[in-house]
Amino acid sequence: MKVISKIQEMQDYVLTMKKQGNSIGLVPTMGYLHEGHLTLAKKARQENDLVVMSIFVNPLQFGPKEDLSTYPRDLDRDLKLAENEKIDVIFHPSVEEMYPNPPAVLMHVGDRTDVLCGKSRPGHFDGVALVVSKLFNIIQPERAYFGRKDAQQVAVIDLIVATYNFPIEVVAVDTVREEDGLAKSSRNVFLSDEERQQAPVLFRSLANAQSLIEEGENNPDSIIKFISEEITEKTNGKIDYVEIYSYPELKEIVELKGTIIIALAVKFPKARLIDNIVITNV
């Protein structure tokens, strides 16, 4: 497994591999790998000749009150896990390599960003858009792999690819969960023992809501009320949002028809957890 930290070296390597007829799959990450990332890597390994995993904690997608300085990092551990998954290349640039100067050309995502996490994180998806576009240009993959846990991010990246005509297939991979249903996340390590016991309520509330819809419930407000009460009564977490939209458009709906996303975010003292389900209701 190669570890590359320089953009020019990465581009030269990609050019050589493409000249040899190799397809490239990209797994973008911010490191501190967990089973969710490794599932993306497995999928990429199945579908491409060459798999590149980027490990880069992107400062542009963190707000002034967010956890950039405390975001978990363990490169040695990440490299061992990646090698076990037969990753071909780790692209691990420094912040100075990716942004040698303050970016003079910025990106603004004008759709799909003013709801869910984007509502409380202004500028977050602009930072995502810029770094993902840079990675796409540097690595030039045929396919890029993202987890459905970050469903809004997937919707935004789909929009970026369509808007800028990147010749890339965005592959969304199902959320990887613990045995009790909690979505795998780098931030789970910040939960106390009590909070960790409560956290599976988030997914259970979503699953129960889906059952209600399958039984005929068609009112978004009723579903939102049900989920909110479940979380409030059974956890100490503070609800950031519980919202329902069309997907991937992320537009408001008045009835539960078509493909929809039910998404939530809950804050614990040291961790903000997100989860969602996407369902099609005819």
The catalytic residue positions are 37
Task: Report whether 148 belongs to an annotated binding site.
Answer: yes
Task: Report whether 21 belongs to an annotated binding site.
Answer: no
Task: Report whether 229 belongs to an annotated binding site.
Answer: no
How far out from the chain centre does Cα 206 lie? 18
Among the listed residues 132, 181, 173, the one whose alpha carbon sits nearest the alpha carbon of residue 36: 173
What letter would DSSP give residue 177? B
Task: Report whether 186 belongs to an annotated binding site.
Answer: yes
Task: Report whether 267 belongs to an annotated binding site.
Answer: no
Q: Which residue has the tokens 């959320």?
A: 175
Task: Report whether 30 belongs to an annotated binding site.
Answer: yes
Task: Report whether 185 belongs to an annotated binding site.
Answer: yes
End-to-end CA distance of the chain: 47
How is the beta sheet containing 143-147 ordered, strand by strand? 2-4, 89-91, 50-55, 24-29, 143-147, 169-173
Output the six-digit token pair for 218: 């068609």
Task: Report whether 33 belongs to an annotated binding site.
Answer: yes
Report d(CA 148, CA 241) in Å as an integer.
Answer: 18
DSSP string, 145-177: EEEGGGHHHHHHHHHHHHHHT---EEEEEPPPB
- The helix/strand/coil state of 176 is coil
- Which residues neighbour 126 within 8 Å (Cβ) at sequence distance 6 or greater? 60, 106, 107, 108, 109
Report d(CA 151, CA 168) in Å as an integer.
Answer: 18
Task: Report whether 32 belongs to an annotated binding site.
Answer: yes
Task: Report whether 37 belongs to an annotated binding site.
Answer: yes
Task: Report whether 176 belongs to an annotated binding site.
Answer: yes
Task: Report whether 112 belongs to an annotated binding site.
Answer: no
Question: Annotated binding site, which residues?
Answer: 30-37, 61, 147-150, 153, 176, 184-187
Question: Annotated binding site for (R)-pantoate, which residues?
Answer: 61, 153
Question: Annotated binding site for beta-alanine, which residues?
Answer: 61
Question: Annotated binding site for ATP, which residues?
Answer: 30-37, 147-150, 176, 184-187
